[in-house]
A and B are shown apart, each in its own frame.
Chain A
Amino acid sequence: MPLIFGKSGEEFEVTTIQGGKGFLKKLMEMGIYSGIRVRIILNPGNGPIIIALSDTRIALGKGMAAKIIVRKLS
């Protein structure tokens, strides 16, 4: 499912990232790539979200979060 549909506090594993090459590369170089675990810190709905990448917090626009496909971890 796209990351944007996740709820605050849920944890995910990134499976694929869709989108143009530049976008993909930038995200990967920021540490978001398939296999990595991310947690949604805040998803207010209808706007950007905040995710956690171990200790780092990254704000992601809605459009970007919609292109990151994840698998929910229990």
Chain B
Amino acid sequence: MTNALITKGKTINVALAGNPNAGKSTIFNALTGGRAHVGNWPGVTVEKKEGRFKYKEYEFLVTDLPGTYSLTAYSIDERIARDYVTKEKLDVVVSVTDSTNLERNLYLLVSFLELGVNSVLDLNMADILEQRKVRVNTKKMEELLGTPVVMTSATKKAGLNELKEMIIRSKDRKIQPLRIDYGKEIEEAIKKVKESLSSINSPYPVRFLSIKLLEGDIEIIKEVRGLGYERSVEVAMHEGSRLEIGFGYDLETEIIERRYGFIESIIRQCVRRVPTIEEKLTVSDKIDGIVTNKWLGIPIFAFLLWTTFQLTFTVGGIFADFIDTFFGWLAESSAIWFASIGVPGWLSSLVGDGIISGVGAVFVFLPTILILFAFLSFLEDVGYMSRAAFVMDKAMHAIGLPGKSFIPMILGFGCNVPAIMSARTISSEKDRLLTILINPFISCSARLPVYVMFTGIFFKSNQGVVLFTLYMLGIAVAVLSAKLFKSTIPKLKGPVSPLVMELPPYRIPTLKGVSIHTWERGREFLKKAGTIIFAGVILIWLLATFPMSSEYASETTLIGLIGKFFAPLFRPAGFPFWQAAVALLFGIIAKEIVVGTFGTLFGGEGALSASLLKYFTPLSAYSFMVMSLLYIPCIAAIGVIYRETNSWKWTTFITAYSLVIGWVMATVVYQVGSLLI
């Protein structure tokens, strides 16, 4: 008890807040030694991240918040940041600002200060200021803002100890909310609203509440109404229209402009800019001139994607062969070894046929997946992803989505789960819902093993091309479904929200950054292979073994019966045998299990290709891949769709829709193909 009290006093609760791309995650990593992924497109941190570190006798609990521009929340990630700063009991909020664009970055800090949040201003990217010979008088700035100021350069790890010291020193500071002079007329209005709010029991300062009411802040209006101060809302509205008529003010914009006026005066007093010659186009701009070019933009994007898949294949294949050989050897030697020590046949079969064959069949694809992740991480860290959204904006508008929802689509190539979560940065609720609904059609890396297995056997000479067509088909189905939903479902109708998005400067990604990012994603795959796929494989083995009187994995086992029940369904699609039905059924647990199931049912990697050649033709192999591509990715994806939409209706809808569309497309491919061949 006493112990807890002592440590409590020594724990400092810190949040990092700031504009997107201001370097919060970099500061977070530099402070905590953490390895939070620092991405290079706005909205990398869609959830808050926590880390701890010790400095002197203090334990710091640091929270890295999603980027936000103000206390007005437009999207879910911004709301997470806003609520955390306003509602949690924080000791200090570090306002991380990009020193190269102070006006806008200070706007958020000023909002915090008006709210009376205990803040430390961190002028990050100080090295760039130095390069440009820009001087900041931090002493003066501290005086004018009434809040401590530190300069850091997180990428160069400079100023971090000063920041820690400053957090310790300011943690118990008595805070007076910042008072900006909004001019005579507005101040009068503030005074009137303030009077009407007298003795309100709210955690926010009364002046802050009054200003927010005048600004027409919806959340604050709700809050004040909830406390029974309906009249104050009316007073504010009345004052607003009075000023609008009397002085031609648009109160909301006027208030924001006064705030900027205050910030500009501070910058004038504290920042000395050495006049520079006419700003030149930066390297970033020159690259943008090419990659976002009207004609070149989309071809470049397609080329990058195509190259990624080609290289993934060629390089991944080399490593895959090694792993394949290894598991083949392992299964064989385990059988011999088990026999030599007299282990019962069923156990030997569980290990050999079940675990080693099943998990091994999935493991073979680890290198391919790691390489794909490495490429995606590279494109992301370079800063290309937001350009892809820019390039695709026009095309996306045509299908009824904003360009921004292209980022979740690209991330979907890695895994649909984080991709669906990344839709949180989309501010319009209907655009976000539509983006989530079409994401499962984007071919995630778990489906890659299925393609690799089949193309390796049936399309040896043109694997890359076949793979490319599958990915394109996924995109096409996503696009057409979006169009279909948009025009038929009332809740999704309406104009597309316009594009406003920050483009981060291009960066040369570090090997460390890309490897960490790749490893983080690869680890998820390994974890899955070790747990859910492992369990799935054992389940399949059990079903394939019982009843014991039947031969292993034969038609008369439980699994055979289940498969035979569903198999006729797939006759029109060209694979009406029970093994395929079983594989697809278990693929719902995780798509990799499709491969693991074939591995188990056909007795391991070695026998696999011979068996598949017996059952499939190239055409039915392709239609099977189409089915695997389009039907619901996995349980995890279903779960995250439910969590993000908070609706069983939408979750059930998209699950059913994807099953139907998968079957229809596979059938179309097989039937049309049969006519042509």
Contacts and interface: CB of A to CB of B under 8 A. Distances in A.
A53 B104 contact: yes
Contacts of A47: 294, 393-394
Contacts of B390: 48, 50, 59
A69 B498 CA distance: 17
Contacts of A48: 390, 393-394, 403, 499
A39 B252 contact: no
B502 A57 contact: yes
29 contacts: A17-B253, A23-B498, A25-B252, A26-B69, A26-B74, A27-B500, A28-B253, A28-B260, A29-B69, A29-B72, A29-B107, A31-B101, A31-B103, A31-B104, A31-B107, A33-B260, A39-B279, A42-B288, A44-B294, A46-B294, A50-B288, A57-B504, A57-B505, A58-B500, A58-B501, A58-B502, A59-B389, A60-B498, A61-B500
Interface in B241-275: 252-253, 256-257, 260
Query: Interface range on chain B: under 10, 10 to 19, 20 to 34, or 35 or more?
Result: 35 or more
A54 B70 CA distance: 19
A74 interface: no
Contacts of A30: 69, 104, 500, 502
Contacts of B505: 55, 57
Given A61-B393, A61-B499, A24 B253 contact: yes
Contact of B257 (A33, A46, A50, A53): A33
Among B294, B390, B403, B498, max chain A CB count under 10 A is at B498
A45 B394 CA distance: 11
Interface of A: 9, 17, 21-31, 33-36, 39, 41-42, 44-48, 50, 52-61, 63-64
Contacts of A35: 257
A49 B82 CA distance: 29
A54 B98 CA distance: 11
A37 B104 CA distance: 13
A33 B107 CA distance: 12
Contacts of B394: 46-48
Nearest to B289: A42
Contact of B499 (A23, A55, A59): A59
B559 to A, nearest CB: 52
A25 B72 contact: yes
A64 B402 CA distance: 13
B155 interface: no
A29 B101 contact: no
Nearest to A31: B104
B256 A56 contact: no
Interface in B290-304: 292-294
B292 A42 contact: yes
A54 B101 contact: yes
Contacts of A64: 498-500
Contact of A50 (B104, B216, B292, B498): B292
A52 B292 CA distance: 15
B250 to A, nearest CB: 8
B518 interface: no
B284 interface: yes
Among B101, B285, B402, B499, max chain A CB count under 10 A is at B499
Nearest to A64: B498
A42 to B, nearest CB: 6
B503 interface: yes
B281 interface: yes
B439 interface: no
Contacts of B284: 57
A64 B498 CA distance: 7
Among B104, B216, B394, B403, max chain A CB count under 10 A is at B104
B658 interface: no
A41 B505 CA distance: 13
Nearest to B395: A47
A30 B108 CA distance: 10
Interface string B476-507: 00000000000000000000001111111100
Contact of B256 (A28, A54, A58): A28
Rank and list the top 5 A-B pairs by shortest CB-CB distance, nearest first: A31-B104, A61-B499, A55-B100, A61-B498, A44-B294
Contacts of B288: 41-42, 50, 57
A64 B529 CA distance: 47
Nearest to A22: B74
B386 interface: yes
A41 B281 contact: yes
A53 B103 CA distance: 10
Given A29-B70, A29-B72, A56 B498 contact: no
A54 B264 CA distance: 14
